[in-house]
């Protein structure tokens, strides 16, 4: 355990010598989304955790690119498994703690902000109020909580994917890798849409519709009780489960890699 904590310290020290611009970029984006959330729909705050999550891994590995700090891991007396575990733990802990803080602020803003309840949330609220009654299980608060933790889980999975790419291939030597990682995410989303469109085109939407309804039914059943806590736990479990899987794969890939 001490070894892993020490390795996390190494990472934090190397971050200090990294590019300050990215740090301020993360800070600025986070602040913008938090302010937007405070002024309009509190759920916008969830975008700040996306910004942090997506930029955190490139930010921590940036020193390796700018100052060749990666070499340090080849000289310190440690095994590669510990390096992988420490890196995963560091980013996951920072991201989780930050997300929990944002979640708390999100709930405080929901209760106390006079600015809250603007056009978007009012529309959503109206929709649910008019449909409120027997047979409608999900409430707006449950929906908001579930959306927040869904965003958390997806971002956590993206982070785990970034880690694995890093441990498998090393840091990209190309310039603008941050921009590239963003574009890759966008490309990934486009690819998912394209594949979905092809599947729908080939197999006919009528076959997919029931499967989608089942999925939505299950999600709504889990989201309804305890203000969405059950669905949130499920989503968090999926996020951490995927991270654990990527951790195992990263250990294997990193140990097999020529440094």
Contact positions toward another protein, by CB under 8 A? 130, 132-137, 139, 206-207, 209-211, 213-214, 217-218, 221-222, 224-226, 230, 233-234, 237-238, 241-242, 244-245, 248-249, 252, 255-256
Rounded to 10 deg, the angle between the 205-223 and 177-203 helix axes is 120
Give me the least distance between CB of 242 and another protein, in Å please: 6
Token look-up 């080939």 returns 202
Nearest CB to another protein, comparing residues 171 and 230: 230
Q: Using the CB atoms, write b or e for 48-63: b if 16+ within 10 Å.
A: bbbbbbbbbbbbbbbb
Give me the least distance between CB of 117 and another protein, in Å please: 17
Give me the least distance between CB of 155 and another protein, in Å please: 18
Q: Cα 131 from chain centroid?
A: 32
Give me the least distance between CB of 248 and another protein, in Å please: 4
Give me the least distance between CB of 208 and another protein, in Å please: 10
How many Å apart are CA 46 and CA 34, to the nearest integer? 8
Cβ count near 83 (within 10 Å): 21
> Which residues are CB-neighbours of 116 under 8 A, at least 6 positions away?
38, 40, 41, 42, 109, 110
Nearest CB to another protein, comparing residues 71 and 257: 257
Nearest CB to another protein, comparing residues 114 and 206: 206
Nearest CB to another protein, comparing residues 149 and 242: 242
Give me the least distance between CB of 139 and another protein, in Å please: 6
Q: Which DSSP string corresponds to 85-128?
A: HHHHHHHHHHHHHHHHHHHHHHHHHHHH-SS-S-HHHHHHHHHH
Give me the least distance between CB of 163 and another protein, in Å please: 15
How many Å apart are CA 108 and CA 97, to the nearest integer? 17
Q: Are 54 and 155 in contact (CB under 8 A)?
A: yes
Look at residues 12, 169, 6 and name the one whose alpha carbon lies nearest to residue 78. Answer: 6
Nearest CB to another protein, comparing residues 65 and 80: 80
Nearest CB to another protein, comparing residues 22 and 154: 154
How many Å apart are CA 161 and CA 145, to the nearest integer? 25
Nearest CB to another protein, comparing residues 62 and 222: 222
């Amino acid at each position: 355990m001490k070894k892993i904590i020490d390795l996390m310290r190494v990472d934090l020290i190397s971050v200090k010598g990294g590019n300050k611009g990215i740090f301020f970029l993360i800070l600025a984006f986070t602040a913008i989304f938090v302010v937007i959330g405070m002024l309009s729909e509190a759920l916008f705050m969830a975008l700040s955790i996306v910004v942090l999550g997506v930029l955190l891994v490139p930010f921590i590995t940036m020193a390796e690119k700018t100052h060749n700090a990666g070499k340090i891991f080849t000289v310190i007396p440690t095994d590669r498994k510990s390096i992988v575990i420490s890196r995963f733990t560091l980013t996951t802990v920072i991201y989780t703690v930050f997300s929990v803080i944002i979640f708390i602020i999100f709930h405080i803003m929901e209760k106390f902000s006079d600015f809250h309840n603007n056009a978007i949330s009012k529309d959503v609220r109206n929709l649910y109020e008019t449909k409120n009654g027997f047979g409608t299980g999900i409430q707006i608060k449950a929906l908001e909580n579930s959306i927040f933790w869904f965003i958390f889980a997806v971002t956590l999975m993206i982070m785990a994917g970034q880690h694995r790419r890093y441990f498998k291939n090393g840091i990209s030597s190309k310039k603008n890798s941050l921009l590239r990682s963003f574009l890759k995410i966008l490309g990934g989303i486009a690819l998912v849409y394209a594949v979905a469109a092809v599947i729908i085109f080939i197999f006919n939407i009528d076959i997919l519709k029931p499967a989608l309804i089942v999925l939505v039914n299950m999600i709504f059943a889990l989201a309804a009780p305890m203000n969405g806590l059950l669905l949130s736990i499920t989503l968090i479990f999926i996020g951490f489960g995927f991270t654990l899987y990527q951790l195992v794969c990263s250990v294997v890939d990193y140990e097999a890699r020529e440094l």
